[in-house]
Structure 1
Amino acid sequence: MTMTRTFTFLAGAAWALLGSGATLAQNAPVPQQAESGTLGADWTSPTQAGVQYVTVVPTATINAQNPGTAARIISYSVTFPGAGSYDLYARVRVGAAAANDDSFYYGNGFGTKLPADDTNWITVNQLNSVGYTSGNIAVDGGGGASNNVWKWINLSKFNGGEPPISFTVAAGSLTQTFQIGAREDGLDIDKFVFGATGLYFTVAQLDAGTQGTSNPPTVFTPTGQPIATGKPKFLGGVYSQPQKPFFNVYWNQVTPENAAKWGTVEATRDQMNWAELDSAYALVQSKGYPFKLHTMIWGQQQPIWIENLPAAEQLSEINQWFAAVAQRYPNATQVEVVNEPTNDLPLNGSTGNNGPNTPGSGAGNYYNALGGAGTTGWDWVITSFQLARQYFPNAQLLINDYGVMSSTASTQRYLTIVNLLTARNLVDGVGIQGHAFETRNVPAATLAANLTTLASAGKPLYITELDIDGVDASTPPQLDDAIQLAEYQRVFPALWTHPAVRGITLWGYRPGHWRTAQGAYIANADNTERAALVWLRSYVQSTVLGTRSAKATAVHIFPNPSAGGHFTLSGTGLLTKVRVLDMQGRLLQERTVKQEETIDLQLNVAAGLYVLQLHDAQGFTSGKLVVK
């Protein structure tokens, strides 16, 4: 979906009227009690524990990108002390349903908005794991407050689904109309504050409505290069708004947390929201980090609108989804094709570990459109990878699941799917999640042994979603650095040093982490490093790992393109095997290599694009062959 944003540029005398930036920064903050506006009929204003707030009634309909009706809007008349730019802060409380209670809209600039016009509104979602409750740090775009607590968020710096905005007040127009709109019920809003852009406000200053400061009250500023710089494996991070600060200091691989999920991108049919995913892609393009798209097919966070379409139409939409992502992100290193196949089928009524998948839950319900169980038991997975090989010919295709390295039975079940895909040349790597609930109380030797079993398929392994909790057993739990450090020292080496593991991605490292309540973050909101992060940096940098051969750069292919299908490969002495596949993953030719520095290949194929796989003892890399 194309979002229209209006920006006003002032010059000459008009700028003189607004004054200098230093003058504007003196404008006092403007508090606005949420209940002080004109409430639409779907809003109510209860009082609890002395706090009066607004919330939307549970029976109201949720629109994907706008409030929909005037009944779901609140209007405010706000008078400002002076012209200038203001950031919008909000004090909110997310209900017990967490991700289902954490979104609303605010107007795209001042003025009366059209209730059903997407371009009139900024969507604010994913509030359940961000925000600030206290502390002498600036209320910025992240924070790690969870649910059922009052917390402050700088909405002008938080991308909760659409790029945020600041608000411009012109001289002579100091009184403005500001509007918000309802999205999900269960979100409570206490107050707003308009604070001068460029100033930093703490929770205490926002609570009191007092002026901010020109310098952020930062406790610690980390510096340096990514932890795994110079290592043959990457140590990456999940990319989302709370995790962006100082990302480049720590991590050298990027996985979008929610931005690449179909339900995030195309919540409304044919209206695409690429903003946050574009942000992640821009980072990897500028830094050269490996980039993994997470995830194309899953039984959660899928568009609601696809659930009841006919199977043929569902399959057509899946093709369109793959094509749109492939066209927009052609340099993706890896594509996670199917997520959690053994735990969460894209099928309403499925009762897997994440189920039951009920209508409207975001399961997608397109399991049968992809072939269902079929003759293999996993035809829907195979079809998904066939599509991925077609649309992403230059990316490594990954499968991903959890609970697979903590249980021998689960490992074997997962290996069955991997072997089915391997036999069809459809999978290039195996993703294994590593959440705290998977590794806790499981011997490190068991984790390593199950990784070895998965590696028997001949594909590289990736630990895709590592987190380790850091709280004690008290009630309520308290942060405990020693507990987290000990678990990192027990678990991480077994994963990092395993010869089949090519990289590890932490599923968040700052507050705002999905397991913030369990203390799984390793850097605090003030940027200080917890003991586990201090140890992790030292351990990774000091641990010597086996060096992988540089075959991807050492092998030379000539000519490419070829007019007759004849190719010569040089620099192949370290290879064990060369394979040529078509764009559907079908094996066309295979050649075993035994310390040969030069290989000739003759392909008797039609003109087109083909995939060349170069195998050595540690796995393979892929390249393109062009026959004219």
Structure 2
Amino acid sequence: MSSRILKIAPVALLCVAVSSVFALGLADGAAKFLGSTTVEGPVPSDFGTYWNQITPERQCTWRTVEQTRGTFDFSECDIPYNWAKENKATFKFHALLWASGNPSWLRDLSADEAKEAITAWFDAVAERYPDLEYINVVSEARRIHSQIGSNNKIIEALGGDNEDYKFITTAFKMARERWPQAILIYNDYNTIQWERNEGIDLINTIKNNGAPVDAYGLEGNDLIVMGTGPMKCYNPDLLKNALQEIYEKTETPLLISEYNISNEIDSIQKNCFAEHIPVFMETEYVVGVTLWGYLYGQSLMQCITNPGINCCGLIRDGEDRPAMTWLKEYFNFQEDTTARDTTIADSTIAIGSSLHLQANTLQAYDVFDLNGVRLGRLRAYTMDEAVSILKNTSDIKVQGIYMLRSVKNGTVKQVRIAR
């Protein structure tokens, strides 16, 4: 089991730390990230309001960066990377090797030339971004559907595939040489409901061959059940069992890397989010969740009900769709009006009071010092649990008295911390 992942993702959603001074995203303070992809151009101004992890959809692919062999242009990739740096968000590089990201000139190269080109590409990315934290090293390379070696010599260049996916193992070893501390991810689709065994077999095969795989990215785009009856969401109990089976058989932490419910019917999208997101967020070996776009029509993912458009977004024409409304309720989201407020109003102080909340309702609590300076935000199910988290976090270095304030109703509790 990878120590890299487990250091980043504590084993329960309650195990949160005090966050940065300014809250970032719906899941600010949670033990795992909730992020989204972004498309070309500037990162939307409201991105940090909802998400604390960012994945570029195509801006960092080989095809985009090296359109002409030997000429690397990282300007589009720099935008989400720099945004993550500036906002202290998690950045996931997508992707080093991916069929949809191959440059067109690759098809004209011999195996030896392809190996030189792949090496130069890895080296260029490592030089530009030496501190990457999460990397999709190889994406969508299972034999059952992969086009990664179609019309090119990538597979041959990286050692071939004698039923052992050696080319994937080689790519991971090359990545580890360049990023010794990064979380290296194999990513694929249809691997939860439909082709689970094939995905498990690939992960175990490359790990047995020495591939330094730290995490398995499940795209999560096979979580709609279609057939002769009405379209519906994949059953959450079956989902939980599937994730457990994948984790136990691969002994590899999981990421939900491209979750999307591409459906124009608001009620179906909302129901799927309400059934699936709690499973992801409350399963200890799921490190985080990335949505494949949140703005309606601004992603390459095709709509299930209308393939001519994209409809997986949660915000349409500036208005929240029901799934987004539900997501905000699940994370108890409120506009962060206290982020720049340096005092706690007397009318909100109720020292020693406690909240009696439903056990399954996650709440947000702001942390202040005695000068009224807001230090961050944490999430817990009750005030008592919030107190316990605050007392045990390593992020508070100085002993003394601190204040917890419920974002929901303003109730405040005094907490004495000894160090």
TM-score (normalizing by structure 1): 0.45
Report the Cα distance in structure 1 between the residues aligned to 2:211 and 2:100, rounded to whole angstroms. 27
Whether the aligned pair in 2 keeps the contact of 1:238 and 1:506 (CA below 8 Å) is yes
Q: Which amino acid aligns with 1:464?
A: S
Cα drift, residue 281 of structure 1:
0.9
Matched, 1:332 2:136: no
Partner of 2:410: none
State how far apart, in whole Å, the 2-side matches of 1:317 and 1:366 are.
Answer: 10
Aligned positions of 1:114-133 closer than 5 A: none
Residue aligning to 1:530: 321
Mapped partners of 2:170, 2:211: distance in 1: 13
Match of 2:30 among 231, 249, 258: 231
Match of 2:6 in 1: none
Equivalences for residues 470-509 of structure 1 within 5 A: 470-471=263-264, 480-509=265-294
Match of 1:144 in 2: none
CA deviations over 1:18-51 (Å, ceiling 9, x no partner): xxxxxxxxxxxxxxxxxxxxxxxxxxxxxxxxxx
Q: Is 1:460 the equivalent of 2:253?
A: yes
Q: 1:441 to 1:252 in 2, by over 3 A?
A: closer
State the partner residue of 1:405: 192
Conserved? CA contact 2:131–2:179, under 8 Å: no
Amino acid corresponding to residue 107 of structure 2 in structure 1: E
From 414, 423, 426, give the equivalent of 2:212: 426
CA distance in 2, matches of 1:469, 1:224: 29
Question: Aligned equivalents of 2:184 and 2:89: distance in 1?
Answer: 17
SS in 1 for 2:99: coil
SS state at 1:398 partner = strand
Contact 2:54–2:90 (CA under 8 A) maintained in structure 1 = yes
CA distance in 1, matches of 2:116, 2:286: 36
Instruction: Give the structure 2 partner of residue 435 of structure 1.
Output: 221
Check if 1:367 corresponds to 2:150.
no
Q: Encode CA deviations 1:346-405: one digit per residue, 9 max, x unaligned.
A: 222xxxxxxxxxx4xxxx44111112213x521111111111111111211000000010
Displacement of 1:247? 0.6
**Contact between 2:56 and 2:77, CA under 8 Å: does it hold in 1?**
yes
Q: Which has the higher contact order (CA 8 A, sep 6+)?
A: 2
User: Could you tell me which of 275, 289, 303 is aligned with 2:103?
Assistant: 303
Instruction: Tell me, yes or no, if structure 1 residue 346 matches structure 2 residue 148.
Output: yes
Partner SS, residue 169 of structure 2 = helix
- TM alignment of 1:68-107, pairs within 5 A: none
Tell me the alpha carbon deviations over residues 88-108 of structure 1, each in whole angstroms, 9 at most, x when there is no partner.
Answer: xxxxxxxxxxxxxxxxxxxxx
Deviation of 1:494 after TM superposition, in Å, equals: 2.3
Of 159, 171, 178, the residue aligned with 1:384 is 171
Shift of 1:441: 4.6
Amino acid at match of 1:469: S
Question: Take 1:463 and 1:508, find their aligned partners in 2: how far apart are those partners?
Answer: 13
Q: Deviations over 1:147-188 (max 9, x none)?
A: xxxxxxxxxxxxxxxxxxxxxxxxxxxxxxxxxxxxxxxxxx
Q: Is the 8 A contact 1:460 1:501 kept in 2?
A: yes
Deviation at 1:308, TM superposition (A): 2.3
5+ residue gaps, structure 1: 1-222, 349-358, 472-479, 555-628
**Residue identity matched to 2:39:** S
Maintained 8 Å contact 1:402/1:438: no
- TM-score, normalised by the number of residues in structure 2: 0.67
- Of Structure 1 and Structure 2, the greater helix share is in 2
Q: What 5-or-longer segments of structure 2 have no aligned partner? A: 1-21, 226-231, 304-308, 333-360, 363-379, 395-419
Deviations 1:548-570 (A, max 9, x none): x9xxx98xxxxxxxxxxxxxxxx
Q: 1-side partners of 2:274 and 2:212: how far apart? A: 35
Amino acid at match of 2:154: Y
Structure 1: distance between partners of 2:72 and 2:258: 26
Cα contact 1:300–1:344 (8 A) shared by 2: no
Are residues 288 and 279 of structure 1, via their aligned partners in 2, closer, same or farther at CA, if it must alter by over 3 Å? same
Distance 1:519 1:224, change over 3 A: farther
Contact 2:55 2:92 in 1 (8 A): yes
Q: Does the 8 A contact of 2:189 with 2:222 survive in 1?
A: no
* TM-fit CA distance, 1:438: 5.3
438 and 324 in structure 1: CA distance in 2 versus 1, 3 angstrom threshold? farther
Q: Deviations over 1:266-316 (max 9, x none)?
A: 111112221110011111111121111111112223111111211111111
Equivalent position to 1:513, from 296, 299, 323? 299
Deviation at 1:445, TM superposition (A): 2.1
Q: Cα deviations across residues 405-437 of structure 1 (Å, max 9, x unaligned)?
A: 013xx2222112222333426111110001266
Q: Give 1:467's aligned amino acid.
A: N
- Higher-Rg structure is 1
Q: Which moved more, 1:226-235 or 1:436-445?
A: 436-445
- Counterparts in 2 of 1:302 and 1:400: CA distance versus 1, 3 Å: same
Give how far 1:260 is off: 1.1
Change in Cα spacing, 1:438 to 1:432, as seen in structure 2 (3 Å) is: farther
